[in-house]
Amino acid sequence: MKHPIELKINGDIYSLAVDPWRTLNEVLREDLHLTGTKLGCGSGDCGACTVLVDGRSVSSCLTLALEVQGKEIQTVEGLAPSGDTLHPIQEAFVEKGAIQCGFCTSGMEMSAAYLLSQNSSPTEQEIREGLSGHLCRCTGYIQIVDAISDAAQKMKQS
Amino acid sequence: MEQFSIVGKDVPRNDAVAKARGAAVYTDDMTLPGMLFGKILRSPVPHARIINIDTSKAKALPGVKSVITGKDIPKVKYGNWRLFADTQDEYALAMDKVRFIGDEVAAVAAVDKETAQEAVELIDVEYEELEGLYDVDATTKEGAPAIHDYCPGNVSVNRKIEYGDVEKGFGESDYIREDTFEVHAVSHAYLEPCSALAQLDLDGRITLWTSTQVPYIVQCLLASTLGMRENDVRVVKPFVGGGFGGKMELRTWEFCAAFMSKQTGRPVKFTLSREEEFLTGRRRHPMTLHSKVGFKKDGTLVAKDLRIVLDGGAYNAMGPTATFLCGNFGAMLYRYPNYRFHGQHAYTNKPPASAMRGFGAPQSLYASEIQMNMAAEALGIDPVEMRLKNAQVSGDKIPDVATISSCGFKESIEAVARMSDWKRRRKELKPGQGIGIGCYSFISGGVFNWFNTQYPFSAAEVRAFSDGTVHLLSMASDIGQGCDTAMKQMLAEELGLQMKDIRITTADTATTPQADLGAWGSRVTLMVGNAVLDAARKIKEQLFGALSARLNANVVYEMECKNGMVQPKGRPKKAIPFGDVVAMVQKSKRGEPLIAHGYYTPRDKGLVTPAFGFGAQIALVEVDRETGKVEVEQMWTAHDCGTVINPKGVEGQLAGSIQMGLGYALSEQFVMQDGKTLNTNFLDYKMPTAMDMPPSAVEHIDTYEPEGPLGAKECGEGLASPTAPAISDAVYHATGYRCKDLPITPEKILNSMEEGA
Ligand code: FES
Ligand code: FES
């Protein structure tokens, strides 16, 4: 039996009917075509599916769509303020070479957003810890860590 | 060094903004109207004959649109080594036998994922189980059952190399050592699981969007397995989430998506789960390497005899190339005057091994680098000095293989020793600390035409427009490594334009120029780069002709493209904007567009590659003597990739290589039992995280590769090799444990320390 739900994603309200076993990741990607959120493992181990729910980073592959009714969901599509301006985190990822294949990128950015919302000037070690639930096979993480600390500085200045 | 304006600069990746926004579309992100979802039924047993398959219940399930088995598809074998048809040993779906747990038996397409899954579970397969053979000793033993009927004895590829006089060389050696090394399988673990989506076009052509490194190879092999003509199949590569060698063959789901879309008239998409990727996915070849090397007292290498058995798993996949290359890698890096190699590729009832970053080099070089260190110790020579003494230099000839052109190997060794303060640090190690070195050399693309293509190895088309923009078309595949950006940089450099002036279309077999062999073997920068420059130079020739006529210039004047202008060299006063000169060319040809084609095929470059990259790496580790845990404290790397096209790109490749090398050395391995892969998620398959990455310092050695585009060559693949031997050597110095069977685990270290005590 499908349940009617309302999801608030990036400020927009979506009314849908979903089976109770479907994950937030499936609903985002398959029903709403918000495909910036990726699926790398489906078991909570890679971080590629990370989104923010009420400001906290969660694995959308482990979260049921029904659980997040009425909550504020933010995906990578909601990070940039507009079509021609990037969020400082995205800007730093672009500039610092933190993106290669890009499959881990949106998840990394969402966790970075959460991290910086909790700690506006994290040390390198704190950034690494903040990323410890994320896997990247391309970059060796160095430029990602670099980008996040750069973004932290930019965000503090503005 | 040449002065460049865009090459060598940190321009951001072409696709970085799209990826940062989550707007880059990967195959599984795509949905087409009426699309069906595919699912594969895989063998639960390692080796069996298929007696019967009953699909009736699956077919009867509402929502199921197609169920296929080996009986329904053309009986055409495929494999990348088209040049030797007998190496092509795979069918898209099992015909009469399964050979590993995960072997593909049937496929379903249904209206949604859940129905597809349910239908797969309703297929009844009756197997007659056969003895499973899980290691090469078992399969190559006299009388072992044949895994493939065509191949009694189970050795599918034999490769021999011999030059000089090896026995005489050993006779002249003062010091000889013989060791056996075991290296293990690891996963590519690209973050994007494989995915393919096929659609039947109105006119009967199949379009396949797929997560691949080799659109052209997929196009050709897919056409042959479907019984269609090559150009009745169109393969498009969307954004790809990493490959590392694991996405360079035609795969079952690509075939099934195409076949079923033809059969149902509806688009069909298959996406693998991570569990499927781990359970059945391609992997790095496990190998046994027996290596005998002879040296003079002063450390000079005299002879080497290398025998390797590759555990290929159930099918050849890219195993023939790995076998071939291992022999070449065994004699690279140093001068081996007398060399003998015998490589054998053996079948086992395990998931097939295939190409993976480094492609035989990490295995071959693990053995040779460790032996180099052991010999240095025995002869009382510093390992750095020992390497400098034997290092290949520009102009060295490797028989049958190549003549080394640019070579910054010695400089790399010297640089890394200086950066790490090697001599002092080795003397002043704290207890539990160790420092070690590993080196590499790697190819810049392959020369051997195993795919038997009739096209140039790489091609590019450049279209120049009067608005000052240029459109670059190429079949090259950016799978994350950044080649689209590098190509644009080279083209902008050559035409004196900016990055923003260049539009790029790539990796679509219907619209980009034929052909390109794909992204593997570190071939793209050199080969596609040369094709791009060839096209750019043809465009320039036409621009220069038009400008010359317009200025009524003396024919001895050289022309150039610079800062968006075309001008006689060094005479900016006479410059005319690029776009205006394009218009002049067009007008002189009654409107014909200005388009040029460029090509590259290596010729007269030996058997292996036109150019080699080189490098050296040093690792500093600390080993906890209680727990055996290894902490890598620092890495130093110096490498020679010729001209650096994009420094951030190169550094990113290098850091990524260290991540992979670290995993190979210390944490990653498949846990197997009776042919079954037991660790099928990222929790149990332990890949290094941001917490595990050591600080690392890098130096690019300045060389210019004459065969490379603007002096560039390989980068980022060779670096998959030195990390494991460097760490291993450091662990030896810290603990006395000399690892001859990767990975290095705390248990192995503690056991050896106990034995030593
Ligand atoms: S896809 Fe959710 S953690 Fe990997
Ligand atoms: S950029 Fe490819 S996985 Fe991170």
Q: Which CATH number does the domain housing residue B274 bear?
A: 3.90.1170.50
- Give A-chain residues touching B658 at CB under 8 angstroms: 140
- Chain A 90-109, residues with CB within 8 Å of chain B CB atoms: 90-91, 93-97, 99-106, 109
Residue B153 lies in a domain: no
Task: Tally Cβ neighbours within 10 Å of residue B93.
Answer: 23
Residue B463 domain flag: yes
Q: Output the CA torsion B648→B650→B652→B657 (10° steps).
A: -170
Q: Do B100 and B231 reside in the same domain of the chain?
A: yes
Span B314-320, average pLDDT:
97
Same domain, residue pair B227 and B263: yes
| Ligand 1 pocket residue status of A45, Cβ below 6 Å | yes
* Ligand 2 center from residue B650 Cα (angstroms): 15
Q: Does B189 touch chain A (CB under 8 A)?
A: yes
Residues A19-34 pLDDT 10s: 999 999 999 999 999 9
**B619 and B738 fall within a common domain:** yes
Residue ending a domain, among B568, B600, B632, is: B600
Cα–Cα distance for residue pair B412/B425, rounded to 1 Å: 18
Strands A72-74 and A3-9, sheet pairing: parallel
pLDDT band for position B756 (50/70/90)?
confident
* Residue B174 in domain: no
For residue B409, the domain's CATH number is: 3.30.365.10
Q: For chain B, how many structural domains are there in total?
A: 3
pLDDT digits (tens, 9 = 90+) for B214-261: 999 999 999 999 999 999 999 999 999 999 999 999 999 999 999 999
pLDDT at site B606? 84
Please list, in sequence order, all residues whose beta carbon lies within 8 angstroms of the beta carbon of residue B514, skipping any fewer than 6 positions away.
B216, B455, B459, B475
Among B13, B21, B117, B284, most A C-beta atoms within 10 A, so best to mutate, is B21
Nearest CB to B20; choose among A41, A86, A137: A86
Size of interface A-B (CB pairs under 8 A): 178
**Do residue B197 and residue B328 come from a single domain?**
no
- B658-711 pLDDT, tens digit each: 999 999 999 999 999 999 999 999 999 999 999 999 999 999 999 999 999 999
- In a domain, residue B628? The reply is yes
pLDDT at B202: 83
Instruction: Find the DSSP H helices in B292-439.
Output: 319-329, 361-379, 383-390, 409-420, 422-427
Residue B181 included in any domain:
no
Residues of chain A contacting residue B239, judged by C-beta atoms under 8 Å apart: 101-102
Q: Exposed e or buried b for every residue in B236-273, given b needs 16+ CB within 10 A?
A: bbbbbbbbbbbbbbbbbbbbbbbbbbbbeebbbbbbbb
Which structure tokens are listed for B185?
């399988």
> Whose C-alpha lies nearest to ligand 1, atom 3?
A44
pTM of the model as a whole = 0.97
Domain that holds residue B563: 16-23+457-600
Which of B556, B583, B600 lies at the terminal end of a domain, its last residue?
A: B600
The per-residue pLDDT of chain B, averaged, comes to: 97
pLDDT at B400 (0 to 100): 78
Q: A142: Cβ below 6 Å to ligand 2? A: no
Whose CA is closest to A74, among A108, A56, A51?
A51
pLDDT digits (tens, 9 = 90+) for B381-413: 999 999 999 999 999 998 878 899 999 999 999
pLDDT of residue B577: 98
Q: Dihedrals φ, ψ of A142, to 5°?
A: -60, -50
Kindly give the number of the ligand 2 atom that is closest to the alpha carbon of B480. Answer: 2
Domain match, B639 and B530 both: no
* B403, part of any domain: yes
**Closest approach of B356 to chain A, Cα-based (Å):** 13
Q: Which of B232, B263, B280 is the last residue of a domain?
A: B280
Residue B246 touches partner A, C-beta closer than 8 Å:
no
Do B663 and B729 lie in one domain? The reply is: yes
Q: Is B433 exposed, middle or buried (0-12, 13-18, 19+ CB in 10 A)?
A: middle
The reply to whether B522 falls in a domain is yes
What pLDDT is recorded for position A1? 85
- Could you tell me if residue B182 is inside a domain? no
Beta-strand pair B104-110/B64-69: antiparallel
B362/B429 same-domain check: yes
**Same structural domain, B572 and B552:** yes
| Chain A hits for B17, Cβ within 8 Å | 86, 90, 94
Q: What is the pLDDT of residue B56?
A: 98
**Mind listing the pLDDT tens digit for each residue in B508-528?**
999 999 999 999 999 999 999
- The encoded tokens of residue B624 equal 């906890």
Q: Do both B229 and B209 map to the same domain? A: yes
B570 and B616 together in one domain: no
B444, B609 Cβ separation under 8 angstroms: yes
B725 Cβ neighbours under 8 A, 6+ residues apart:
B365, B366, B369, B370, B373, B436, B437, B438
3-state SS, residue A8: strand
Tens of pLDDT along B468-497? 999 999 999 999 999 999 999 999 999 999
Q: Residue B1 above 80 pLDDT?
A: no
Collapsing DSSP to helix, strand or coil, B412 comes out as helix
Per-residue pLDDT, averaged over B260-287, amounts to: 98
Classify strands B594-600 and B301-311 as parallel, antiparallel or unpaired.
unpaired
Task: Tell me what percent of the residues of chain B surpass a pLDDT of 70.
Answer: 100
- pLDDT of the residue at B180: 98
List alpha helices for B421-500, DSSP H: 422-427, 483-495
Mind listing the domains of chain A with CATH numbers? 3-78 (3.10.20.30), 88-157 (1.10.150.120)
Same domain, B573 and B643: no
Closest CA to B329 of B669, B730, B614, B602: B614
Which ligand does the CA of A63 lie closest to?
A: 1
Q: Are B742 and B182 in contact (CB under 8 A)?
A: yes
Place of tokens 């001895």: B556
Same domain, B100 and B198: yes
Per-residue pLDDT tens over the stretch B628-666: 999 999 999 999 999 999 999 999 999 999 999 999 999
List the structure tokens of B662: 């670290």
What pLDDT is stored for residue B2 in this prediction?
Answer: 60
Q: Ligand 2, closest atom to CA B190?
A: 3
The SS3 call for residue B195 is strand
Given a contact cutoff of 8 angstroms between Cβ atoms, the answer to whether B542 and B470 are in contact is no
The pLDDT of residue A109: 98
